Amino acid sequence: MTQHNEYTTIRTVFEIINAGGMENLGEAISILINEAMKAERSSVLRAQPW
């Protein structure tokens, strides 16, 4: 994951939480978990996604 991607992901998560507060926390956590899974897959496969 590139630095730019990390920044936009974190920014998106903050915007979701700011827009809906704790009610949107599940969506924010889902985004973070998905990004963590992408990073893990890239690490294990030693390849970036297409």
Kindly report, residue by residue over 8-48, the tens digit of the pLDDT: 999 999 999 999 999 999 999 999 999 999 989 999 998 87
Instruction: Tell me the one-letter amino acid at 40.
Output: E
SS3 content of the chain, % helix, strand, coil (to 5): 85, 0, 15
* Residue range(s) defining the domain that contains residue 19: 3-45
Structural domains of the chain, count: 1
Burial class (CB in 10 A: 0-12, 13-18, 19+), 27: middle
Is 25 inside any structural domain?
yes
Is 33 inside any structural domain?
yes
2: left (phi over 0), alpha (psi -120 to 50) or beta: beta
Among residues 39, 41, 49, 50, the alpha carbon closest in space to that of 9 is found at 39
Is 50 inside any structural domain?
no
pTM of the model: 0.75
